[in-house]
Copies of this chain bind each other. A is one copy, B any other.
Amino acid sequence: MAAETLTISEMCALFEVTPRTLRFYEDKELISPIRDGQRRLYTKREIGRMRWITHGKRFGFSLEEIRELLDLYYLGDQQETQLRRTYDVGRGHLATLKEKREELKASITDLEELLAQCKQKIDTYPVQAAAE
């Protein structure tokens, strides 16, 4: 069980982001890599957090909204009050995610129908060449 850490460039490769992005997230306290002198070292914890961040972004959450969720993902030894608050925030996000899931389902169905119609229309055109 080695204490594996990644350098900033390895992290960049892993998540397809630039160093600037990682430092920016750090500045915003979304992640907090440990230091080896000046250099940043990213542990499993930061990798996990980055996963949430990239997912969250893909679903249209702002970094600020994501930050709230991250508190939940890595429960430290918080006070009870704080823990309850975190829990509530999480419930809220879950509800939002579920809403989005339904919307997404509907959108996919809609789009599939549209594409079917579109294809029909395309198929009315005479075949021009033997290509495909």
Residues of A near any B CB (own CB < 8 A): 55, 57-60, 69, 72-73, 75, 80, 83-84, 86-87, 90-91, 93-94, 97-98, 100-101, 103-105, 107-108, 111-112, 114-115, 117-119, 121-122, 125
B114→A84 contact, CB < 8 A: no
Q: Which residues of B contact A91 (CB under 8 A)?
A: 115
Instruction: State whether A86 and B125 are in contact (beta carbons under 8 Å apart), knowing that A60-B57, A97-B104, A104-B100 are contacts in the complex.
Output: no
A115→B87 contact, CB < 8 A: yes
Instruction: Tell me the complex Cα distance, A60–B65, Å.
Output: 14
Instruction: Tell me the complex Cα distance, A69–B111, Å.
Output: 9
Instruction: Tell me the complex Cα distance, A64–B1, Å.
Output: 47
A86→B118 contact, CB < 8 A: yes
A53 to chain B, nearest CB (A): 12
Interface of A is mostly: helix
Q: Which residues of B contact A83 (CB under 8 A)?
A: 118, 121-122
Instruction: Tell me the complex Cα distance, A114–B69, Å.
Output: 10
A10 to chain B, nearest CB (A): 23
- Residue in B60, B93, B98, B125 whose beta carbon sits within 8 Å of that of A59 in the complex: B60
Instruction: Tell me the complex Cα distance, A119–B55, Å.
Output: 23
Instruction: Tell me the complex Cα distance, A115–B119, Å.
Output: 44
